[in-house]
Each structure stands twice: as structure tokens, then as C-alpha cells.
A and B are shown apart, each in its own frame.
Chain A
Amino acid sequence: MPSPALARLRRRIAALEGVGGDGHGPVMPLGLPGFEGIGTGALHEISPAALACDHDGAALGFSAALLGGLVRLMGKPALWLAEGGLPHAPALAGFGLGPERLVVGIAGQPKANLWALEEAARSPALAAVLGEVRGMDFTAARRLHLAARGSGVTVLLLNRAAAAIAPAQTRWRVNGLAGADDRWRLGLLRCRGRSPDERGVVGEWEVEWDGTARRLGLVASTGHRPAVPDAARVA
């Protein structure tokens, strides 16, 4: 059982590092038991289960769901910097990302993309920016993280490389889930302040996107498997 003093210290460290939802900007809850929510003004990484560009429907869907949620939460538009083909706009509209709320960019040279991501992450005019990338070195990711922290813009990186992006606050693995449309198996592989269990995950959920209510819901039959007891969560 952590003492109050230790909890305070943790909060201070977290505040210095710019992680967690501790007064650093609103948190977007996802309705996942055992997970507080996506911290805004931070870096989050989404990793498709299949790295091939054309197999990543589930990861694209989850990314769009997060981005649409952030747009609604912050009341500002978002940027999607696409690589390997644009996302299909009619589907995006179903995630709350109609043309009035989303600007789409086509990635060019890697250097220009990094620049564009950072420029967008720095701009308080945006709610969030999603970048499709193939890995990112520590320095670039750190710069992006700092930019996001300064502006409150949430940065989502859809990473098609196997190597994780170090400074990300959360890292998600997204699999398709058979049985119905828009069903995914989410694996939270990393979450600042939480340690993964013996299977290497912090939490795992089977979810379904509710296009009418525009939110995620748990797939009824399976329930959730929180890997860490609630008491150990970051406050």
C-alpha cells in the first residue's frame, strides 16, 4: 500500500516528466475498466497487429476513433498525416472526422514529415494530430512529446515499425476481432506509471465501436482482464 507521501512524490515526478492525467490537461476516458484514459498533450503510439499497410483496418479504425474523440473533447480540428494512401473519407466521417473537423496531409520526405508533425504538435489550433510513421528515433519522438506538452495537442503515432517509440505515454496493439463489424482486441502494451504483467501487457480489452453514440463499448461476452489492481493506478 503506497503512503500518501509517496503518492505525492509520484505526482510531482509525473508532473515534471509531463506524463499522466494529473492536471496536465483533460483526460479522454475510453470506458475501459482499469484504464483512466488518454492523456491529452502527450504522445500515444498505436501499433497494428499486422505491420503491412493494407491489413491495418483495425488499427486505422481505432486511430480514427481516438482522433474523433479528441476532436469532440477539445472542440478543435485535427490533422491526419497519411502514409501509403489516404484513409477513406466516408468512413472517417463515421468516426466524427468530417471534412470540417479534419485536415488530411500526404506524407512526403521523412524529414518534411517530422517537421510537419512537430509544427502541428506545437499549434494550439489543433486538438490532435495523427501521424502514420515507420518508427521514430528517440530524439525526434522526444521533441514531439515536448511540443505536445507545451501546446496541449495530443499526438497519435500509428507506427508500422516493430520497434516501439520510446517516449510514448501509452502504446496500443490493435487486432481485428471476428464476429461483428468494428470489433477490435486492444492490448495496452505500455502505460506510463504502470508495469506490464508476465504476458507483457498492462491491460487487454475486447471492444466494439458504437457509431451512433460515437464511443467504444466492451464486447459483452468477454469482459475485461485488468492486469493491475485498481489501487496501483496512477492517481
Chain B
Amino acid sequence: MPSRSRFVALQFSRLVALLPFLFLGLGEAFAAAGHDHLPQSAEEVAKPFGIPITNSMIMVWVVALGIIILCRLATKKMQLVPSGLQNLVEWLVESLFNFFAGIMGEHLARRSFWFFATSFILILCCNWAGLIPGVGTIGLTAENAPAGDQFRPFFRGANADLNLTMAMSVTFFGLWFYWAFTEIGPKNFFAHIFAPKGDFGKLMLVLMVPLFLFVGVIEVISIAVRPVALMFRLYGNVYAGENMLETLMIMDKVPDYLKWLPALPFYFLELLVGLIQALVFVLLCAVFTKLMCEHHDEDHEESGHAEPDPEPAAGSSAANS
């Protein structure tokens, strides 16, 4: 560990060297300052009333506040002929809705849009906000913490905290069960997993039943693994990206005034990764939803009732029949 005076001098030289990039939002000049490595979990910054406030929570609040303020400004005085912020927000909402309607159909998209759109926007904004200079570098030093782990940043990439990705995954699977049960009914839900698919003769059906029961058990395991895969995929990619940037900026053999350079190309990569990970998360969620509810849609289209069903129970009985 460098001495305190050397540490301050290093930070000052990095700040001066990276000033143009800071303005461009490309530098995370302080990143190497506090940690000798990026911790796997979010760090507790405060604990009012016994409730731990982690740096990823603060990041979510800041990002959410930004999104909410932007949306309020855009929708406060809505005009029939849009302009400015309203135009931007309308474009975003309409594009997302068309995207999800293309995957799941308009009926399912209307029901579930709030979840998918919020997940996408929040994940994307959190991922990109994690690249802003100051995230992971502005914070406090805990005196009583072990050496090398004394720095406590105020902000951390929100999706580099498994609590948030798990919250989103668990919410999705709760909703997934609700949407599936209300769209196709419990009977069709279990039939979709365990029942033989295709037209078989009686003898063939008897032979196929154990096979499809086995396939159903595998499907149940697959369904159970999905939230775990979702939360770890998002967390892993974001955490890996942040870790890579931090590691690249504390490489020993690079002169201090050039320490920002190795990480620079990867900031562009992380911008792309942030978008792709947001897209992958919501895309998989949408596909899982569509796969379970598609019988319902097919039945409706065949019977000429492609319009949204106001009574899910009626839709279920139609699907059952």
C-alpha cells in the first residue's frame, strides 16, 4: 500500500490527466483508490433504525429518482402533438411496447408491460450509471475495517449486487406464475408441463406418458433454475465488467499518468454490455412468459377471439375446452 502522501499525489495526477475524459463520462479515475479488489457484494454505508443502507441501494434510489423526474417532466403537460421530452419518452414506451408485443402478442404485452419496461429501463440506467465517474470512487474510509478494505464508496453499480438482481428475478417468477395461471388456468399450466404433446394412438399414448412425466420433471427443474440463472447472469456480467475496469486501472506496470488508458476502450464495451444485459434479461423473461401462455393465444386466434380477453377466467375455460 502506498503511503498517504503518495496516495494523494497519485490521485491528483490521475484527476488532472483524466479531466477531459471525466467531462466525457469516460473515466473512473478514482477507482483504484479505495479497494485492492472490488468486493463481490454491496457494502453497507449506513444503518439507520437498524436497516442497512448499501451503496447499491443508494445507486438504485438515485437512478430511480432520475427516471421518475424525467418521466414526470415528460408527462406533466402532455400534448397531442409531442415535442421534446414527451417525444423521447413516448418513443421509448412505444418502441418497448411494440418490441414486447412482437414477442408475446398484444394481449400479454398489455398485461405485463409495466414489469418488462421498468426492468429494462432500470437495468439499463443502472448499468450505464455505474460507468459515471464517482461511482465506486467517492465514499468514506472505515477506520476499523481491515487494511485494503477500508474504503466504502457511496455508489456501486446497482446490478453488481445480487440482492437487486434476485429481487427482479423473484418478482418476475411470482408474476410469471400469476400470468400463466390467469391466462391458461391451473389445469393447462400443469398439462403444459407434464401432458404428452402431439397426437398419439392409445397404445402409443400409454407408452408416452412415463416419458412425458420424466420430461415434465426436467421442465420443473428448468423452471426452478430460471430465476437463479437470470439473477446470476445479470449480476455476473455487470460485476465482471466493473471488476475488469477497476483491475485495468490499477495495473502496476503502467505509469500513473496513463493508468486511465487501458480501461478506456472497455468503457465503450461496457456501454454495449449494459444495453445487451438489460435486453437479455427482459427478452428471456418475455420468452418464458410467452412459452407458458402461448396455448391460450393460439386457442384464441383459432376461435377468432384474438382481441384482449377482459375475463381471464373465461379465457381459461375456453382454453380448457
Do chains A and B interact in one complex? no
Interface residues of B (CB under 8 A from A): none
Interface residues of A (CB under 8 A from B): none
